């Protein structure tokens, strides 16, 4: 038995890595070393002769995770990992469809549409069919198509109960026909087409089932319905499926993730072994105790309890303040103090539930001269100049790609106007052909016809020249002759765009060095699959800003979690959704477990969002963290509790939407003798707990407007309200 790579595993990790041939569910808590367990399991299976590298199918959720897994395997065993099927669902489905494109009904050189290209294709479809895009918004139709495909369904399978849905169904079918005609597939189609291929081709399914006797899946809690069905197709009667996940970190329901797949997996695969990885190697004791106490309030969970061999550590700091500006300043001051204590800014994260919160935080950091990086900006392959370059490359690879042609036929400008393009589309529609074939037909005459003819000749020349060049030189040739470089060089602020275009050549060089298949189609596939994955800049010491969703999978020495108010976290949109609050609690759990040594929680009584001041109650999640774990930091003189609202708080619009003069300040009290004020936490016998957001009148006419946690916003006459201070 091999010992080197098994050394150092804790008992539960060792049991998981060395399981006999059986399907198993590994409940891997945050920071419990799940990647090590996965890679060690693969190495153990290969080393003990239970399977060859080619007999492994390992599914991850990011290309970065797949590369990390292969790198670790190479360090464990002297094997060639290039032929192994390790990758994302989309990457593996693409590989399957490339190998069996005929059986799947696809051209050999089919192209992949990323999200932006897919939206462009839908817009073209609506225009070609003369459909009102205000009545049927392209993004809404895109969501309908993708959501339907993620359920494993085609347009014909949609149950249409009303005329609107029937029209969406028709447009979905027309979209599929357009994609088939152009030889392109979107991300959801990669999975659905692959699933359908395996479903109908019994011989092919049997081949892959006999090949992949060991299937390993990372982040199982994030799988959607179609991904689960795809795995069931590949898992033969003798397959052992090793599913690793954490139901407490299932936070992507809005993307179709179905946490119920974990329970289904136990039933469908007859899982007898559930191993819990509960020892955490990231966070100190107080942080884990808070996370455990919080998530215990979720009823629909498989259940586990994180622990650490490390010390209890520092208490969690809870900062309660009057407004978001004070909250931001506190974060700035503490970040500076951490820096003075030797903590790099790059090891500090500032998390928030909603992107709308970031403006005040960014302004405070900028004003203080603290470098910061906002995760979630445009990625390399999503930048406009790169999209243009990739469109030229797509045309070089497949001239029938209408989306690529429409993007660059008049970029840089060639005098081909919108009217000419409409005529070209009409010709293509009449001829049932691609736009390229319609342009070649010569039916469009005059100046527009000549301009389009020159464009066709340009692409044709580039195709001929690139056919004999290595990939990086193909891209250099395209950049030099397409006019993109010259176009951006002529722009006042085009230097960065030119640098990005030149970086595309560097990306091609790296791709060639890392991949056996260094063809143009393979590179375009790589670019499409990589689009949307975060690749943070390296080398600079900058504080990290991001939403809690974006922080999944990351860890930091110190974490600030801001905006812990009802309606913000948990988010108000989740309040009326089935299971919404439980998912928000899982999101809070993810946020807490990002911290290694120090965790700050902060909330503000008033916050400017969407042009309004909003007053909020403290988040219910704070009530679920034991008081003994918290160190309350109160900035208000005299130790006044969270309900305090400073008398000079400027308000331009209150929570009800009533506008007030910009120069006026809202009075926090009715009069000097009244015990009630705006922002005060109160309780009502019928409506429960709430916060005062407005007040008017005096004496017998006095009344308050209260935002209740469970009963909404109500006006109450003080004489009869019988409110009590909470």
**Catalytic residues, which ones?**
34-35, 218-219, 249, 594
In DSSP notation, 23-89 reads -EEEEE-TTS-HHHHHHHHHHHHHHTTSS-GGGEEEEESSHHHHHHHHHHHHHHSS---TTSEEEEH
Distance (Å, whole) CA 307 – CA 287: 10
Count of all residues that appear for the chain in the document: 726
Helix H or strand E segment including 113: strand 111-113
Given the structure tokens 């991850």, which residue do they identify?
60
Contacts for 495 with CB less than 8 Å, ≥ 6 apart:
none
Considering only CA atoms, give the Rg of the chain. 29
Burial class of residue 561 in the structure, from the number of CB atoms within 10 Å of its CB (0-12 exposed, 13-18 middle, 19+ buried)? buried
- CA angle, residues 28, 34, 39, in degrees to nearest 5: 145
β-sheet bridge partners, residue 559: 349, 599
Alpha-carbon torsion (390, 396, 402, 405), positive or negative: positive
Instruction: Tell which residue, 304, 315, 350, has the closest CA to residue 554.
Output: 350
CA distances from 509 to 496, 513, 516, 519, 693 (A): 20, 6, 13, 12, 60
Closest Cα to residue 617, out of 557, 689, 667? 689
Other Cβ atoms less than 10 A from the Cβ of 146: the count is 19
Tokens, residue 483: 């006019």
DSSP state of 283: S
HSE of 230, CA atoms in CB hemisphere, 13 A = 29
Please say whether the dihedral angle defined by the alpha carbons of residues 397, 399, 405 and 411, taken in this order, is positive or negative. Answer: positive
């Amino acid at each position: 038995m091999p010992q080197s790579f098994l050394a150092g595993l804790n008992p539960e990790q060792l049991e998981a890595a060395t399981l006999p041939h059986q399907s198993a569910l590994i409940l891997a808590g945050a920071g419990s070393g799940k990647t090590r367990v996965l890679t060690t399991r693969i190495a153990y299976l290969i080393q003990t002769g239970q399977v060859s590298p080619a007999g492994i199918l390992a599914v991850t959720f990011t290309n970065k995770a797949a590369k990390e897994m292969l790198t670790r395997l190479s360090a464990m065993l002297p094997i060639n990992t290039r032929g192994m099927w390790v990758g994302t669902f989309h990457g593996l489905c693409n590989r399957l469809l490339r190998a069996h494109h005929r059986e799947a009904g696809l051209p050999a050189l089919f192209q992949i549409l990323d999200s932006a290209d897919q939206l462009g294709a839908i817009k073209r479809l609506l225009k070609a069919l003369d459909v009102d895009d205000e009545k049927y918004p392209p993004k809404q139709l895109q969501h309908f198509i993708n959501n339907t495909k993620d359920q494993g369904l085609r347009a014909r399978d949609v149950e249409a109960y009303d005329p609107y849905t029937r029209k969406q169904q028709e447009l979905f079918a027309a979209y599929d026909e357009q994609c088939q005609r152009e030889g392109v597939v979107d991300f959801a189609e990669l999975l659905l087409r692959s699933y359908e291929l395996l479903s109908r081709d019994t011989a092919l399914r049997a081949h892959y089932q006999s090949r992949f006797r060991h299937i390993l899946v990372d982040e199982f809690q994030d799988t959607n319905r179609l991904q689960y069905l795809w795995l069931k197709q590949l898992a033969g009667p003798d397959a052992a499926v090793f599913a690793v996940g954490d139901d407490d970190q299932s936070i992507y329901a809005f993307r179709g993730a179905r946490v119920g797949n974990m329970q289904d997996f136990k039933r469908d695969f007859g899982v007898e072994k559930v191993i819990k990885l509960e020892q955490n190697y990231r966070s100190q004791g107080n942080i884990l105790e808070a996370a455990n106490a919080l998530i215990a309030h979720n009823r629909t969970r498989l259940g586990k309890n994180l622990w650490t061999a490390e010390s209890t550590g520092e208490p969690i700091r809870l900062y309660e303040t009057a407004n978001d500006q004070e909250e931001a300043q506190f974060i700035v001051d503490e970040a500076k103090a951490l820096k003075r204590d030797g903590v790099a800014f790059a090891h500090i994260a500032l998390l928030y539930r909603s992107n709308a919160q970031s403006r005040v935080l960014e302004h405070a950091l900028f004003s203080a001269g603290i470098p910061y990086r906002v995760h979630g900006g445009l990625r390399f392959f999503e930048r406009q100049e790169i999209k243009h370059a990739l469109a030229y490359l797509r045309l070089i690879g497949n001239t029938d790609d209408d989306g690529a042609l429409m993007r660059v036929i008049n970029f840089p400008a060639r005098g081909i106007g919108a009217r000419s393009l409409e005529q070209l589309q009409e010709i293509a529609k009449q001829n049932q052909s691609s736009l390229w074939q319609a342009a070649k037909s010569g039916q469009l005459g005059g100046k527009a016809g000549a301009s389009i003819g020159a464009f066709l000749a340009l692409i044709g020349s580039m195709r001929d020249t690139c056919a004999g060049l290595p990939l990086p030189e193909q891209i250099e040739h395209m950049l030099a002759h397409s006019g993109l470089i010259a176009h951006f060089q002529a722009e006042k602020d085009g230097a960065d765009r030119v640098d990005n275009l030149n970086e595309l050549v560097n990306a091609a060089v790296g791709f060639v060095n890392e991949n056996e298949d260094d063809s143009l189609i393979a590179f375009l596939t790589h670019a499409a699959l990589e689009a949307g994955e975060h690749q943070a800049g390296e080398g600079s010491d900058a504080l990290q800003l991001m939403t809690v969703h974006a922080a999944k999978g990351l860890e930091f020495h110190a974490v600030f979690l801001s905006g812990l108010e009802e309606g913000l976290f948990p988010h108000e949109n989740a309040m009326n959704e089935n299971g919404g609050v439980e998912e928000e609690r899982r999101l809070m759990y993810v946020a807490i477990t990002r911290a290694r040594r120090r965790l700050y929680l902060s909330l503000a009584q008033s916050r400017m969002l969407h042009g309004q001041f909003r007053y909020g109650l403290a988040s219910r999640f704070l009530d679920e963290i034991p008081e003994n774990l918290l160190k309350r930091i109160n900035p208000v003189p005299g130790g006044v509790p969270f309900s305090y609202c400073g008398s000079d708080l400027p308000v331009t619009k209150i929570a009800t939407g009533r506008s007030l003069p910009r120069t006026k300040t809202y009075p926090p009290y009715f009069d000097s003798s009244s015990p009630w004020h705006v922002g005060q936490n109160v309780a009502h016998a019928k409506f429960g707990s709430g916060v005062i957001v407005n007040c008017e009148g005096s004496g017998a006419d006095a009344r308050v407007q209260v935002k209740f946690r469970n009963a909404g916003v109500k006006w109450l006459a003080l004489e009869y309200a019988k409110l009590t201070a909470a």
